[in-house]
Amino acid sequence: MTGTPAQVGRHGPTRRRVLTTALAAGAAALGAGALTGCGSALAADDGTTVRLWDLFSGADGGLLNDMVAKARPDMPGTHVERTVLEWGTPYYTKLAMASAGGRGPDVAVSHMSRLAGYAPTGLLDPWDPSVLAEYGIDPSDFADAVWSRTQFDGKTYAIPLDTHPFIVFYHPGPAKKAGLLTADGTLDADAFSSPDQFLAAGRELAKASGKQGIAFGYVTDTAQCWRLFYGLYHQTGGRFDLPEGGPAEVDVDRVAEVISFMARIVDGTVNPHSLDYASAIASFVNNQTAMILSGEWELGTFRSTDKNVGAAPFPTVFGTPAVYADSHSFVLPRRDHPDDEHRHRTHRTVAALLKAGQIWATAGHIPAYTPVTETTAYAAL
């Protein structure tokens, strides 16, 4: 992100700016009861508790608990108190409203793609690089492409936890039978290197499996649709230009080309007509389909039923390698008068969690903190 942060009043963001950010997060779709059930993040304690808001339930929630336990030696005397909120609109609306009032948690998890709606509007406080350095965290520990996205107006507003791209998973048996594996047993990306080849490969997978070829859960799921579209659109060389104060500019012809291809994928043979996210996962887990288009975060789910499940980068269908990816990150909700000692404790907590990233990697997430990905333990996953 570049540019100048929006000016805010002496006491923080204006009501108009807060409402604008909340609406951008999808507040219009939020049910009336979605904001209940969470007390003030500023309830009194002895100063040793770091309150964390996140959106990790299920297996990922369990892994985060394991990371907290693993990190304890690196943050002595600190207790991490998690509050788990519903993924998506409810989470980001709650976070925006709590930050606007200066009553958010000490630290929160945010997708990096959401940062543009939070940092410029005064809803976040920046991290202090010198304090992070005290606990062994340096910008050089992250890939440049990831770290650059944490910046706004010369300050760091997010600490990346991971990168999670949109990829393909496949069952090796039908993929081999369809002739879509290379000599070393990996997916032959060349067999998917054009729209027609991709669809033909899907039909071959359907024949080999005797059922469906490629599952994609998209019904009522705008996030999945966007992930597929975004990667394919960039493969065509298309760009999104978002001039400040002006309408978005896109290449309409390339948009039409990509959407036409996406429609052909769900023809009933290459892909069933009407899978939502959950039914696509179930279809792949139950061997009703040979391949699935999904995020790498599903690796743990798939390995639990097929230890030999294959995974590969999303194929280059339109000539230019590109794929949708996002990152989970840690952010500091705005405080009018943050306590320096407690902010140091929060920085230390996040540093400790990053160093426990090997646990997070077991779910298929790619840790953003490169000292984790450079270990033999990570290479063995």
pLDDT tens readout for residues 138-168:
999 999 999 999 999 999 999 999 999 999 9
Residue 64 vs residue 5, higher pLDDT: 64
Residue 291 and residue 187 in contact, taking contact as beta carbons nearer than 8 Å? no
pTM assigned to the model: 0.81
Sign (positive or negative) of CA dihedral 59, 65, 71, 75:
positive
Q: What is the pLDDT of residue 379?
A: 92
Residue 283 vs residue 43, higher pLDDT: 283
Q: Which residues on adjacent β-strands are paired with residue 83?
A: 53
Using CA atoms, how far residue 243 sits from 236, 256, 359, 381, in Å, is 21, 22, 40, 43
Percent of the chain with pLDDT over 90: 77
Average pLDDT over residues 276-291: 95
E-strand ranges in 251-336 read 289-295, 310-313, 325-326, 328-333
Residue 153 vs residue 18, higher pLDDT: 153
E-strand ranges in the chain read 49-54, 79-84, 107-111, 124-125, 151-152, 155-156, 159-160, 162-170, 212-215, 289-295, 310-313, 325-326, 328-333, 366-367
Q: Give residue 12's pLDDT band: very low, low, confident or very high (50, 70, 90).
A: very low
Q: Give residue 5's pLDDT band: very low, low, confident or very high (50, 70, 90).
A: very low
CB atoms within 10 A of CB 115: 21
Q: What is the CA radius of gyration of the chain?
A: 22
Percent of the chain that is helix, strand, coil (3-state, to 5): 45, 15, 40
Task: Map out the domains of the chain with their CATH numbers.
Answer: 15-161+327-379 (3.40.190.10), 165-325 (3.40.190.10)
Q: What is the pLDDT of residue 250?
A: 94
Average pLDDT over residues 249-263: 96
Average pLDDT over residues 222-233: 96
Q: What is the pLDDT of residue 345?
A: 98
* Nearest of 159, 91, 90, 96 to residue 122 by alpha carbon: 96
With the CA atoms of 14, 18, 20 and 24 taken in that order, what torsion angle do they form, in degrees rounded to the nearest 10? 160
* Nearest of 216, 199, 207, 227 to residue 272 by alpha carbon: 216
Contacts of 227 (CB under 8 A, 6+ apart): 166, 295, 324
Joined together, the tokens standing for residue 172 give 């090796």
DSSP character for 127? B
Q: What is the pLDDT of residue 276?
A: 96
Q: Give residue 300's pLDDT band: very low, low, confident or very high (50, 70, 90).
A: confident
Q: CA–CA separation, 148 vs 162, rounded Å?
A: 14
Q: CA–CA separation, 130 vs 94, rounded Å?
A: 30
Q: CA–CA separation, 296 vs 221, rounded Å?
A: 17
Q: What is the pLDDT of residue 46?
A: 67
Q: Residue 208 CA to chain centroid, in angstroms?
A: 33
Joined together, the tokens standing for residue 193 give 């290197």
Q: CA–CA separation, 134 vs 184, rounded Å?
A: 45
Q: What is the pLDDT of residue 274?
A: 86
Does pLDDT of 21 surpass 60? no
Does pLDDT of 74 surpass 80? yes
Nearest 5°: phi and psi at 62?
-65, -40
Average pLDDT over residues 72-82: 96
Q: Give residue 243's pLDDT band: very low, low, confident or very high (50, 70, 90).
A: confident
